């Protein structure tokens, strides 16, 4: 499903970046746990075009956050796929595109993750450091949202791998920059 989404979006000239648990796995080069959904970021101005293309492939809309903030869909195989929408502040920092949190800043390096890879599937990913910040801060940014054990485990995996890389350990399977 990730490969299909990336191929479809690339053919349409729409950039997407994998986020969440799958971004962690693509950074590490292996599946580390079961996933219930697939999360991406995309530019707000590309969202309508991307959703039309996905509808043509049999995806259907799901209720969720305001559509100017995030688009939630179900794939023909039943996979839940979401696209958090991005806008940019005057200084170039990515921001939440709409909804109650419109204009709130994401980490400045959010889209600096290059690509990750599992097997033959290559996908643009969010920056691992930004992923850590998001997982750490989400319960602060959204009061009442509790920290999940899987988030703590993901943070530990990311920190461990980043420490290995800074110590000169083996490089991830693919770290080519993603053209914006």
Three-state secondary-structure class, residue 100: helix
* Residue 15 maps to a domain: yes
Q: Which residue has the higher pLDDT, 95 or 133?
A: 95
User: What are the pLDDT digits (tens) for 134-154?
Assistant: 888 776 666 677 777 888 888
Q: What is the CATH number of the domain that holds 9?
A: 3.30.460.40
Tell me the average pLDDT across 69-96.
96
What residue ranges in 52-167 does DSSP mark as E strands?
Answer: 60-61, 70-74, 80-88, 94-96, 115-118, 121-124
* Residue 133 maps to a domain: yes
CA nearest 22: which of 9, 6, 33? 33
What is the per-residue pLDDT for 143? 66
- Domain residues for 21? 2-166
User: What are the pLDDT digits (tens) for 98-117?
Assistant: 998 899 999 999 999 999 99
* Residue 137 maps to a domain: yes
* Residue 172 maps to a domain: no
* Residue 67 maps to a domain: yes
Cβ neighbourhood burial of 144 (10 Å; 0-12, 13-18, 19+): exposed
Based on the structure, what is the number of domains in the chain?
1
* Residue 16 maps to a domain: yes
What are the residues whose beta carbons fall under 8 Å from the beta carbon of 17, sequence distance 6 or more?
23, 40, 41, 42, 110, 111, 113, 124, 125, 126, 178
pLDDT at 70 > cutoff 70: yes
Q: Do the Cβ atoms of 18 and 124 come closer than 8 Å?
A: yes
pLDDT at 175 > cutoff 60: no
The structure tokens 């693919």 sit at 174
Average pLDDT, the chain: 89
What is the per-residue pLDDT for 147? 74
pTM of the model: 0.87
Tell me the average pLDDT across 20-43.
94
* Residue 179 maps to a domain: no
Three-state secondary-structure class, residue 16: strand
Q: Do the Cβ atoms of 1 and 79 come closer than 8 Å?
A: yes
């Amino acid at each position: 499903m990730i490969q299909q989404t990336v191929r479809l979006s690339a053919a349409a000239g729409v950039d997407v970046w994998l986020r969440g648990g799958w971004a962690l796995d693509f950074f590490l080069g292996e599946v580390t746990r079961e996933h219930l959904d697939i999360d991406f970021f995309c530019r707000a101005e590309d969202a309508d075009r991307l959703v039309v293309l996905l509808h043509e492939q049999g995806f259907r809309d799901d209720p969720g956050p305001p559509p100017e903030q995030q688009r939630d869909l179900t794939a023909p195989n039943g996979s839940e796929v979401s696209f958090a929408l991005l806008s940019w502040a005057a200084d170039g920092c990515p921001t939440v595109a709409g909804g109650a949190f419109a204009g709130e800043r994401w980490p400045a390096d959010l889209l600096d993750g290059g690509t990750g890879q599992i097997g033959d599937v290559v996908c643009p990913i969010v920056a691992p450091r930004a992923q850590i910040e998001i997982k750490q801060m989400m319960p602060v940014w959204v009061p009442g949202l509790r920290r999940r054990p899987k988030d703590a485990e993901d943070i530990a995996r990311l920190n461990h791998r980043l420490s290995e890389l800074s110590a000169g350990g083996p490089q991830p399977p693919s770290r080519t920059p993603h053209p914006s």
